[in-house]
Amino acid sequence: VSPMFNLVISNVPGPKETLHLNGAEMLATYPVSLVLHGYALNITVVSYKNSLEFGVIGCRDTLPHIQRFLVYLEESLVELEP
């Protein structure tokens, strides 16, 4: 049975303040997720301070050229900047 959808997008709000561990500042986050059977693409977005971090993972069989998607995503985000 095929799933009703093949794209999962998660937006996880993160802290607005700087985090530290043993006195060291956390500089960035790196969201990582899974592509389950029948899904083509998972996009996870995590905010940290004043930035958005994107994690993108896709099924190689369904999206053999996922790097193109990343280029298009970056171009679109640049268009949105003030």
Q: Where are the domains of the chain?
A: 7-80
pLDDT number for residue 80: 93
CB 54 within 8 A of CB 44: yes
Going by C-alpha positions, the residue among 57, 42, 46, 58 that lies closest to residue 11 is: 46
Taking the whole predicted model, whether its pTM rises above 0.85 is answered as: no
**Interval 1-50: pLDDT, tens:** 777 889 999 999 999 999 999 999 999 889 998 888 888 999 999 999 98
pLDDT number for residue 4: 82
For the chain, where are the alpha helices, taking DSSP H only? 66-80
Cα 44–2–11 angle (5° rounding)? 15
pLDDT number for residue 82: 85
pLDDT number for residue 36: 85
pLDDT number for residue 8: 93
Backbone φ, ψ for residue 67 (5° rounding): -60, -35
Between CA 81 and CA 40 the distance in angstroms is 28
